Chain A
């Protein structure tokens, strides 16, 4: 009897303790709720819009509402309009550090390895991935009158053919004449179908965004042995090459200068020196 009373007592004691504890926890939770001020979604969104992309990519995992804000099309658009233009370029890297080239950084994303994965080829069938002439994609920006360059930690084997709004049009070295469009920040990429094959010195690629339709377009000019220039255009949304009328005969003397995309058109300097005109092509039509 006495034993059972003792048991009851300890049970009671435990119950009381537990209750007190849960009350304490509740109170703490309440305190926290009061202590944490409520931030309006617009307020958060305005703060996030000012963060650089590198920060945003991890900040999206703070909580689900934030994930929703950062991944929304409106936010992406607004952030893009608030971001500054950078100059994207390649720098050669070598597996063995030399005086001229820096060794590759750890955790570098390889364009080719990722493409192989997408296509589920065996890496061993492609000796090209062992090639030593590798590039890493870098960008340069200007701050307070000084230029600074940073790396995207992305490596590739092919050249940059054109860039547009931070997207890069790269040679796909795994497929002759193939091209890849990639976003070096998000590391998303898409392989383009092969267009008309021409040697690089007889062709030119332009990459532009049509403000009217919101679509990205790749323009490919190529010159046959008689000097006639043809043109084909690929819409990044549909990914089909379609032929259009090329520039008039004799307009282009040289394809060495990459076109510049501005005010809804691509502009080429058509001669190696002493060009008296530029060749422009509207992209909105």
Chain B
């Protein structure tokens, strides 16, 4: 019993570690990516067909690839970066790479919700494109960006469970090793319950946070 508890606890920590770090990294790249997607679009403040075309194409190529396949496909790249393709740290690489286009599209969508008039007003005040992004677009989109980031985090949590299948850690690996290979269905059940609880907590806190900072 003691062992099972420790096992689940460790798995939970690994899952949270993978999810949180990957989410942060995915936003580090995905946020500017999404903003660039938005502002280089047709009729936008930094309209640029070539840049927009390249960014959109990359996002469109990566996004439809099932995450399981991307995991395997990225093994050499993961080895290059962390030296191994096994373990929690290693799973962060494909998790991040696979999530960047998803994050970018989510960010783009949040920015699309801002009425065009806001940008027009910003321009009429003599704001530069950079100022429009920093002082108008991001603050106005913030509640939507926050709720979007929680949705992405939950998706990344789901992906992280898959990472268990190719040697990653976390609850996914436990579910696979104990629940599937050793028929310990009680452990499988516990991992499911823990995952549900984690998702619930993410969801609730995301909704609350978004509500708190939203003034419209």
The finding on whether chains A and B are genuine partners in a shared complex, rather than unrelated, reads no
Q: Which residues of B contact A (CB under 8 A)?
A: none
Q: Which residues of A contact B (CB under 8 A)?
A: none
